[in-house]
Chain A
Amino acid sequence: MLDIQKLVKSFGTKRAVQGLSFTVEKGTVLGFLGPNGAGKSTTMRMISGVLEPDSGDALIAGKSVVSQRREAQAALGYLPEGAPLYDDMTPPEFLAFMAAARSLPKSERKPAIERAIADSRISTVCGQRIGSLSKGYRRRVGLAGAILHDPPVLLLDEPTDGLDPNQKRAVRALIARMAPTKAIVISTHTLTEVPAMCTRAIVIDRGRIVADETPEGLRQLSSDGTLEGAFTKLTDQAEAESA
């Protein structure tokens, strides 16, 4: 479903992502973890076709994001970091724009928008401008935009950031419901989200993969049996090695 092949990206002299490779199959919810500045968002941007990689490629449902960008992007649902949205639109207007931009057939647009609104639970704020919504609702409108066209691959950057516990549970349930038919990558630094949502976790640090495990396997890497311990150990170790 999603095949990442040796992605490399530098900004000036800083090598943000250094030859990252992994594959995600249908039915997998991959937690993409790492400290701030590890290259998570840069990787997500390259997969989504927003940033061009210096070298390497990402295949989304078999389409190369480098040489068949639009076909690859059509198979992807992407929630960018911070859920950027057009503040002057209402959620249904925004979703209608997304449906048109994704060239959904006209007859499918209305049911797709209604389904996305129901799935992301934003029907109560449909009359409001996005600019007036709280952080949690904005995030869910962004999520609705990402799942609108029912893509086989979902890329979600911090989908539960800013949500209250009830909303988090709803988003988790939605992801669990979609999981069997999709390959889902969730970038997060909220470690408690990992066992709750993910079936597999990759930890990256300084643009390199330092662990690729199940959440349970990751926990066992630590000395104290917690995810936090494993995270600290893996990313500190990498820091010590590079120093």
Chain B
Amino acid sequence: MNYLRQQLGSFMPVFRREIGAYYSTPMAYVFLAVFLLALGMFTWEASGFFDTGTADLTPFFVWHPWLYMIFLPALAMRLWADETSAGTDELLLSLPLGMPGLVLGKLLAAWSVAGVGLLLTFPMWITVNFLGEPDNAAIILTYFVSFLMAGSYLSIGAAVSALTRSQVTAFVISVVIAFIFTAAGWPLVLSGVKSIFGAGFADLVAQFSFLSHFEAAQRGVLEFRAVLFFLGFMALWTILNGLWASRHRLG
């Protein structure tokens, strides 16, 4: 218990510091504005929200993985790379803070900004309720799984950010990794992975597709498997994040 408190005691100060960094600079506002704009455009223009004739949010949720893939690495890229390039990692590592709390504080700060983005899509939900009688329980469930999926994308971005001092490098690498996991079930990705790593690995990668795990949730079905998948995925990348951030102590 005491050990846990030591390890996680750093959570609150780091979380608050990161939230402050997002909202005291234009970063969070630019992210939220552009994310919502893009989501709206895709929902209305590309999916034809009003043309489907049914009162549900499928044309809205279908874009989530793709927009997360681009936008969330942008939100996460600064988490560690910025510390390294500004030299503040030295200050941070000299404080009596446990690494687990540090890693979680940073990740959850970014995740909460993404959560605010999701909450601000409430006009969509109001619109479908105004137009018809959608299954609101199913919508809440889809939102929930989408939020978990956002955390998974952010955990990739945060971990990669600990590997480099350049935010741009962190962003590009994160988007590539995020793309691989988003479209892991696609023949395009699978054949590429197969030719580099072999068929066995390609089969494994196919099991990790965000699109297929999010599919059931989009239909309003709560798949325990999908929830576990996203939580496990996040845990794995968070551990990698901790390991990669600890490498700073080796010089």
> A and B bound?
yes
Could you tell me if A51 and B97 are in contact, using CB atoms closer than 8 angstroms? no
Decide: A88 near B86, CB < 8 A? Known: A70-B96, A80-B91, A101-B95: no
Could you tell me if A86 and B95 are in contact, using CB atoms closer than 8 angstroms? no
Could you tell me if A73 and B24 are in contact, using CB atoms closer than 8 angstroms? no
Could you tell me if A49 and B24 are in contact, using CB atoms closer than 8 angstroms? no
Task: Return the chain B residue nearest A89 by Cβ.
Answer: B20
Could you tell me if A102 and B96 are in contact, using CB atoms closer than 8 angstroms? yes
Task: Return the chain B residue nearest A41 by Cβ.
Answer: B90
Interface residues on B, range: 20 to 34
CA gap between A88 and B6 in the complex, in Å = 27
Find residues 136-195 in chain B having any chain A CB closer than 8 Å to their own CB: none
In whole Å, how far is A57's beta carbon from the nearest beta carbon of chain B? 15
State which of A9, A73, A80, A81 has its C-beta within 8 Å of the C-beta of B96.
Answer: A73
**A45 at interface by CB-CB < 8 Å:** yes
Could you tell me if B21 and A88 are in contact, using CB atoms closer than 8 angstroms? yes
Decide: A82 near B21, CB < 8 A? Known: A70-B6, A101-B10, A102-B95: no
Could you tell me if B249 and A88 are in contact, using CB atoms closer than 8 angstroms? no
Could you tell me if A73 and B88 are in contact, using CB atoms closer than 8 angstroms? no
**A76 at interface by CB-CB < 8 Å:** yes
Could you tell me if B90 and A80 are in contact, using CB atoms closer than 8 angstroms? yes
Could you tell me if B94 and A78 are in contact, using CB atoms closer than 8 angstroms? yes
- Give the residues in chain A near B6, CB-CB below 8 Å: 70
Render B5-25 as a binary contact track against A, CB cut-off 8 A, 1 for contact.
010011011101100110011
Find residues 229-251 in chain B having any chain A CB closer than 8 Å to their own CB: 248-251
**A84 at interface by CB-CB < 8 Å:** yes
CA gap between A165 and B250 in the complex, in Å = 38
A-B contact pairs, 22 of them (CB 8 A): A11-B251, A45-B90, A50-B93, A50-B248, A69-B96, A70-B96, A73-B95, A74-B96, A80-B87, A80-B90, A81-B90, A85-B88, A86-B86, A87-B86, A88-B24, A88-B25, A97-B13, A100-B13, A100-B16, A101-B10, A101-B96, A101-B97
